[in-house]
């Protein structure tokens, strides 16, 4: 009955829950005079007369690939083949710079790395609005 992996998972889940609780408490008390941005349409019971948009429930369980990107680089095949255990590849991202959060390859947010109980996570610091995404496509 004493499964160490289950106990470790429980501790880890509790730590993440505590971190999420701290974030929720911080968000519940906005700075004086600051209003939260309404970036996404609200689908709460108040907004839609108690119902989600038609067909919205059908897509809720579709998996998407979430990627957090530290940086990128271009490398020749010659240099790629010379890589070995312990090789260092320089990326274009700077230390302390926000990480890009991509959903199915599309930039949707930026965030900062957090560590809870030796596991990495990301705290979103900036959400890319649909208008910003369209503006980037036009470049």
User: What is the pLDDT, as a whole number, of residue 31?
Assistant: 60
| Cα separations in angstroms, 79 against 54, 88, 89 | 52, 11, 10
CATH of domain 61-137: 2.30.330.10
**In the chain, what percentage of residues exceed pLDDT 70?**
68
User: What is the pLDDT, as a whole number, of residue 47?
Assistant: 47
Rounded CA-CA distance 72/79 in Å is 15
Other beta carbons within 10 angstroms of residue 27's beta carbon come to 9
Strand-pairing partners, residue 27, are none
Q: Residue 120 burial by CB count (10 A; 0-12/13-18/19+): exposed, middle or buried?
A: exposed
Max avg pLDDT among 32-36, 84-88, 95-99, 117-121: 84-88
Residues 86, 123, 135, 39: what is their CA dihedral angle, to the nearest 10 degrees?
170
Rounded CA-CA distance 121/105 in Å is 19
* Nearest CA-CA partner of 15 in 129, 126, 115: 115
This model's pTM is above 0.85: no
């Amino acid at each position: 009955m004493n499964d160490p992996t289950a106990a470790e998972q429980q501790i880890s889940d509790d730590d993440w829950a505590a971190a999420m609780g701290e974030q929720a408490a911080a968000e519940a008390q906005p700075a004086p005079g600051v209003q939260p941005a309404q970036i996404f349409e609200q689908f709460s019971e108040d907004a839609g007369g108690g119902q989600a948009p038609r067909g919205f429930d059908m897509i809720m369980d579709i998996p998407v690939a979430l990627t957090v990107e530290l940086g990128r680089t271009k490398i020749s095949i010659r240099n790629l083949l010379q890589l070995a255990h312990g090789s260092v590849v320089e990326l274009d991202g700077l230390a302390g710079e926000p990480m890009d959060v991509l959903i199915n390859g599309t930039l949707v947010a930026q965030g900062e790395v957090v560590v809870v109980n030796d596991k990495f996570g990301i705290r979103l610091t900036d959400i890319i609005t649909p208008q910003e995404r369209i503006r980037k496509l036009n470049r």
